[in-house]
């Protein structure tokens, strides 16, 4: 596939990069490994489109965005198939991602209708003050591989309804679904240049986009180190930033918790998408009276998960590439060397069916300690560390003793204790007694080194708007 710029497929002179299927290592397609010239073409297209798009009445922007959302649903099978091939996740889950992302587009559209300017009272005769909102401008949206469409919609849906235009750079492992979606949106009526897609590496075309003087905002989801580099570069042109970065999210299981509910939620959330998402349960602190019961129940739950071999079905797909898989292997080896028990998993699956893919068994590590990587660094794989504690207060101290602050989870039947722990967790989102998907209507983002700003709902739209104050003077009729 080629890049998608100014409403059309854009041939690039850049070298080609392969896009491979992580289930078997086969090549799915190739895309350009773009450079500064491709970035310039995309930004110029977005800048031209911005001058017209910002003037489009909100009701018309809403109509177009809702048409794009419906087009996503209509093409969910086609786009989902591309996502399945490039990411390796089971097909049904890939199609589900497309449909759920369309819902967020609709929600952002409805939030656009609720935006208002204000006219504060108290001005002198012949004077009025209006506080209004202007779109930021051209936006660079840089997205990761794990949920490429959902995390793009976090940014694109908010930016478009605010009146901005977008240059998107998907991760080099998963560009195909984003490229296809740009074509789908253009066919659904989104004007040329409002949604451009370039391909390449973060250090290549990504860096060119961030440093370019025209874009006024960068919205990025990815690793903390990359986010810091983007922030440092963006300072040069004072770009606005939304950064959703890494996580090392902790769950606290109190002695009075419903262990069955806690295990079901933690197992489901810790291993969804083969552990490849930022706010998954990475580590669990369990009070000692229920520690053994929790471990036994977790082993039983996780032991039921199956791996989806090439051409087959299963609960978990592969990791997106061998580099991501190596992180899980490193953390498991580190835990073993320091005395932890590997209760299940802890290796690549055997058998010829898995030989060509980036698979890793779902893994539980018991008796984890804070000199181990599993309790301190993001895993981004199907490995969960479990640590016994003597009290909920000790668990809270451990949970907060991290440079990350994206999500936290608490399980207890005592509502007062639960609310106290939730309030005490230094995290942008906290769940009590269950772990649902993050809602499209409320803010999502992290504290500390887990990021800057919030996405979703009205909070996400506001991140793409600038306040403007206008002072009006006029002659008062006699």
411 and 287 assigned to the same domain: yes
Residue 154 pLDDT grade (very low, low, confident, very high; cuts 50, 70, 90)? very high
Instruction: Assess whether 203 and 297 both reside in one domain.
Output: no
- The answer to whether residue 63 sits within a structural domain is yes
Q: Which tokens belong to 449?
A: 């080194």
Q: What's 63's DSSP letter?
A: H
**Pairing mode of beta strands 27-32, 127-135:** unpaired
pLDDT of residue 153: 98
In this structure, are 118 and 134 located in the same domain? Answer: yes
pLDDT at 53: 98
pLDDT score for 88: 96
Q: Domains in the chain: how many in total?
A: 2
Say yes or no: 22 and 108 in one domain.
Answer: yes
User: Model-level pTM?
Assistant: 0.96
Question: What CATH number has the domain bearing residue 372?
Answer: 3.40.309.10
Measure the CA angle with vertex 383, ends 380 and 387; round to 5°: 115
Does residue 92 surpass a pLDDT of 90?
yes
Same-domain pairing of 217 and 287: no
Asked if residues 419 and 317 have their Cβ atoms less than 8 Å apart, the reply is: no
Q: Is the pLDDT of residue 430 over 90?
A: yes
> Range of 455's domain?
3-245+450-470
> Which tens digits make up the pLDDT trace of 111-132?
999 999 999 998 899 999 999 9
What residues are annotated to the active site?
244, 278
Same-domain pairing of 196 and 336: no
* Share of residues in the chain with pLDDT > 90 (%): 99
440, part of any domain: no
If asked whether residues 115 and 231 sit together in one domain, one would say yes
Assigned domain for 13 exists:
yes
pLDDT number for residue 174: 98
What pLDDT sits at residue 256?
98
Q: In this structure, is residue 157 part of a structural domain?
A: yes
478 falls within a domain: no
Q: Could you tell me if 27 and 149 lie in one domain?
A: yes
Instruction: Say whether both 169 and 134 belong to one domain.
Output: yes
Residue 180: which CATH number?
Answer: 3.40.605.10
Based on the number of CB atoms within 10 Å of its own CB, is 86 exposed (0-12), middle (13-18) or buried (19 or more)? buried
Say whether both 212 and 231 belong to one domain: yes
Mean pLDDT over 464-469 rounds to 98
**Residue 312 sits in the same domain as residue 455:** no
Assess whether pLDDT exceeds 90 at residue 295. Answer: yes
pLDDT in tens, 361-409: 999 999 999 999 999 999 999 999 999 999 999 999 999 999 999 999 9
The model's confidence at residue 96, banded by pLDDT at 50, 70 and 90, is very high
pLDDT single digits (tens) 240-281: 999 999 999 999 999 999 999 999 999 999 999 999 999 999
Question: For residues 105 and 65, is the Cβ–Cβ distance under 8 A?
Answer: yes
CA distance 289 to 341: 19
Closest CA to 415 of 256, 261, 250: 256
For the cut 90, the answer to whether the pLDDT of residue 423 exceeds it is yes
Tell me, yes or no, whether 374 and 269 share the same domain.
yes
Secondary structure E strands in 80-232: 127-135, 138-142, 165-169, 195-197, 217-221
pLDDT, position 478: 83
pLDDT band at 84 (very low <50, low <70, confident <90, very high): very high
Question: Across all residues in the chain, what is the average pLDDT?
Answer: 97
Question: pLDDT tens, 6-62?
Answer: 999 999 999 999 999 999 999 999 999 999 999 999 999 999 999 999 999 999 999
Is residue 444 domain-resident?
no
């Amino acid at each position: 596939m080629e890049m998608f710029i100014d409403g059309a497929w854009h041939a690039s002179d850049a070298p080609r990069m392969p896009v491979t299927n992580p289930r078997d290592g086969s090549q799915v397609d190739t895309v350009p490994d773009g450079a500064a010239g491709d970035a310039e073409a995309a930004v110029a297209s977005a800048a031209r489109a911005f001058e017209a798009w910002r003037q489009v009445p909100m009701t018309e922007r809403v109509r177009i965005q809702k048409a794009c959302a419906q087009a996503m649903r209509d093409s969910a099978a086609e786009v989902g198939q591309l996502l399945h091939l490039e990411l390796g996740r089971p097909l049904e889950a890939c199609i589900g991602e497309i449909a759920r992302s369309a819902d967020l587009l609709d929600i952002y559209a409805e939030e656009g209708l609720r935006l208002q300017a204000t006219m504060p009272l108290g001005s002198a005769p012949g004077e009025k003050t209006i506080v209004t909102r202007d779109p930021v401008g051209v936006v660079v949206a840089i997205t990761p591989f794990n949920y490429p469409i959902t995390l793009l919609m976090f940014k694109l849906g908010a930016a478009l309804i605010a009146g901005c235009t977008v240059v998107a750079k998907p991760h080099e492992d998963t560009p195909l679904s984003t490229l296809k979606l740009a074509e789908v949106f253009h066919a659904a009526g989104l004007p040329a240049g409002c949604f451009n897609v370039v391909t390449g590496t973060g250090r290549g075309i990504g860096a060119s986009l961030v440093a370019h003087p025209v874009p006024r905002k960068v919205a990025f989801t990815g690793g903390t180190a990359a986010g810091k580099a983007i922030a440092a570069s963006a300072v040069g042109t004072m770009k606005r930033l939304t950064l959703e970065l890494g996580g090392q999210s902790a769950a606290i299981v109190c002695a009075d918790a419903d262990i069955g509910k806690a295990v079901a939620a933690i197992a489901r959330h810790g291993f969804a998408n083969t552990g490849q998402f930022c706010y998954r349960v990475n580590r669990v602190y369990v009070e000692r009276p229920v520690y053994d019961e929790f471990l036994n129940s977790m082993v039983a739950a996780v032991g039921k998960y199956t791996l989806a071999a090439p051409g087959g079905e299963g609960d978990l797909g592969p990791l997106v590439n061998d580099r991501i898989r190596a992180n899980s292997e490193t953390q498991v080896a580190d835990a073993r060397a320091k005395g932890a028990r590997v209760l299940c998993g802890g290796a690549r699956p055997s058998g010829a069916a898995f030989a060509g893919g980036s698979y890793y068994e779902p893994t539980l590590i018991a008796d984890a300690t804070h000199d181990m990587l599993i309790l301190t660094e993001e895993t981004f794989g199907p490995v969960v560390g479990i640590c016994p504690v003597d009290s909920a207060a000790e668990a809270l101290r451990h949970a907060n003793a991290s440079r990350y602050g994206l999500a936290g989870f608490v399980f207890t039947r005592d509502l007062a204790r639960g609310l106290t722990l939730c309030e005490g967790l230094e995290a942008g989102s906290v769940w009590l007694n269950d772990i649902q998907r993050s809602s499209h209507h409320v803010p999502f983002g992290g504290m500390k080194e887990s990021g800057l700003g919030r996405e979703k709902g009205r909070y996400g739209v506001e991140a793409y708007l600038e306040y403007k104050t206008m002072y009006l003077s006029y002659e008062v009729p006699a």
